[in-house]
Chains A and B, each alone.
Chain A
């Protein structure tokens, strides 16, 4: 098997030195490239991967130290060996502190060149180890992330598969999911994985804008179309032509705009307000809603024909409570993100905080979890986040937690036990020790109850859920919001 030669970049403005060094290192079996200044070196390193760069400290355009800083800030992987004159050893030491692998002093006599020859294999070994580490991290990342979406649960993997399948097509996509589940991120993923990714992505929230403004935003207007319209204005359909329009909360759109939208979808042409000519647009529509569409159609809030136009492919985003595998992953990610953003050395959640995070049913979904973690990072005083830090204020007082548990006839004993455990845990503001004491059981058993619930373990070993069909946590956690309604079948497509 033929091994590929390790690549080394020599960055120096002294041609005589680069030519000589290049010959010496080529004799050692390396593939050598030369950059005559720091700027060129940076360009080459951005285009190709070099295991080692030998950089002169003093170079035109971008000196060795600045080059090193650029490599760090752009996260370009390579090991940098600084070559320096004696007068600049201080700078070389500074370079080492900034992440250079080592430095060699000039003049590059036989001893120094032998030292350089011995250094390079070690630097390459470090580079290769880190390269493998980066590859493994990237592969791991690929298992837990998809574009801006985070999640490794089966439900989310299913979502990723649908996005992969539908993105290359031009089909309209309807994303269904509760508020805070990441519908816009899915829309962005559909756009970025499509051939339209170089075109614009235009997001409009149909519920946030009054009818007239929404119509104007979507279709634009001609000069003089209405009082105060002194200039013509293209609408979202025109501006996003060649790209994707994301219509959030599409079911909130007024019926007459729905008609216009339907027409635009069918003809791929729009007419500005006050305009006479039809303007052709090349657009893909991704829409989203958190509404019960069957109900919306039945109550004529959403036109059935528009629904069929929008829902060529449907993507159903699961609520966070159904993605228990992802809660820890997301909480960890948000903790790292906000600790870094706020300059805090917070490393983890306390055990009680984890218990609470994993047992709470997150009615506001990922958005609520994200906000809760951000708030807790800001409020935390130590290196860990406590249950009190992470809990929403309205849940912190045990007095607000209902003190009784309703158990349906037919519930299993283990379900009843879990509901009691969770309600008691909520009443103690997530204090697992006190919960165990109140229940007359051990901390381990309380924890097992919570984890068993979240692992999706059958409630009593038979695989049956609570008889009322609700997620047990939804019934016992201290929030006013009822559990998610069971999914109703949507109208069959014709």
Chain B
């Protein structure tokens, strides 16, 4: 276990997380609203057509399906958003946090024609002994940096006894390596979280 974060550092973590969460929600907002609009429009098709004679249930099926699909997407994004706005569980579950961030940032990136993939982000990655607020902040900042640097990002995870590693491989783009804010890096180092950037790859090692 790392030492408790000082109150000054805590304020800094909270401020940086609010900023990161703001970016994540801002990007996801369009997708949430888009999905909700999809629900409304498709329900409207079902409602207006179902009142007409000679309309079969089968002809309404695709619109009902579409509305349901959009609703599921909204639920997934809303749940992720709610989890990220609450204080993190301690110790922080690395895989679950990565999946929540991806549910929002990934949806927005895909809407911008980008490719975001998750590989091996399994529960076996486990949790980290690093401060949960700092670890969550680092995961959020890394995800944003990766999708900003490339139009094709693969997020993968490997786990060992001593650590859990999250990696972001930027497969396409202008050769710009993902860059994390120096204040976040400094907090990560103080918590024993190792951040390594090499070419188009960014990897973060979380201590057990």
Contact = CB atoms under 8 A, between A and B. Distances in A.
Main secondary structure of the interface of A (DSSP, over half): helix
A16 B41 CA distance: 8
A16 B48 contact: no
B199 interface: no
A110 interface: yes
Nearest to B47: A110
5 contacts: A16-B39, A16-B67, A20-B42, A20-B45, A20-B66
Contacts, number: 66
Contacts of B38: 14-17, 20
Given A14-B37, A14-B38, A19 B44 contact: no
Nearest to A109: B40
Nearest to A61: B113
Interface residues of A, number: 22
Q: How large is the interface on B (under 10, 10 to 19, 20 to 34, 35 or more residues)?
A: 20 to 34
B42 A108 contact: no
Instruction: Give the interface centre of B38, B47, B62, B63 by most chain A CB atoms within 10 Å.
Output: B38
Contacts of B35: 14, 16
B112 A107 contact: no
B30 interface: yes
B69 A27 contact: no
A30 to B, nearest CB: 14
A87 to B, nearest CB: 8
Interface in A317-372: none
B111 interface: yes
Given A60-B113, A107-B37, A109-B44, A16 B30 contact: no
A108 B37 contact: yes
A62 to B, nearest CB: 12
Contacts of B40: 107-109
Q: Which 5 A-B pairs have the closest CB atoms?
A: A16-B38, A20-B41, A20-B42, A14-B34, A23-B45
A19 B36 contact: no
A16 B111 contact: no
B70 interface: yes
A13 interface: yes
Interface of A: 13-17, 19-21, 23-24, 27, 58, 60-61, 85, 87, 106-110, 113
A113 B111 contact: no
Interface in B65-84: 66-67, 69-70
B2 to A, nearest CB: 40
Given A16-B69, A61-B113, 8 more contacts: A16-B35, A17-B37, A17-B41, A20-B44, A20-B45, A85-B30, A106-B37, A109-B44
A23 B62 CA distance: 11
Given A16-B66, A17-B34, A113 B47 contact: no
B44 A27 contact: no
Interface in B18-39: 29-30, 33-39
A37 to B, nearest CB: 8
A85 B41 contact: no
Interface of B: 29-30, 33-42, 44-45, 47-49, 62-63, 66-67, 69-70, 111-113
A16 B45 contact: no
A15 B48 CA distance: 20
B71 to A, nearest CB: 10
Main secondary structure of the interface of B (DSSP, over half): helix
Nearest to B38: A16
B155 to A, nearest CB: 22
A41 B60 CA distance: 28
A58 B30 contact: yes
Contacts of A61: 113
Contacts of A109: 40, 44
B69 A108 contact: no
Contacts of B69: 16
B33 A24 contact: no
Contacts of A107: 33, 36-37, 40
Nearest to B36: A107
B41 A24 contact: yes
Contact of B49 (A14, A21, A27): A27
B32 to A, nearest CB: 10
Contact of A113 (B30, B33, B41, B66): B41
A13 B70 CA distance: 14
A12 to B, nearest CB: 9
Instruction: Give the interface centre of B29, B34, B67 by most chain A CB atoms within 10 Å.
Output: B34
Instruction: Give the interface centre of A16, A27, A109 by most chain B CB atoms within 10 Å.
Output: A16
A108 B40 CA distance: 7
A14 B35 CA distance: 8
B43 to A, nearest CB: 8
Contacts of A87: 29
A19 B111 CA distance: 17
B27 to A, nearest CB: 12
B49 to A, nearest CB: 7
A28 to B, nearest CB: 10
Contacts of A20: 38, 41-42, 44-45, 63, 66
Contacts of A85: 30, 33
Given A16-B70, A19-B66, A106-B37, A24 B113 contact: no
A13 B34 CA distance: 9
Contacts of B41: 16-17, 20-21, 24, 108, 113
A212 B47 CA distance: 84
Contacts of B63: 19-20, 23
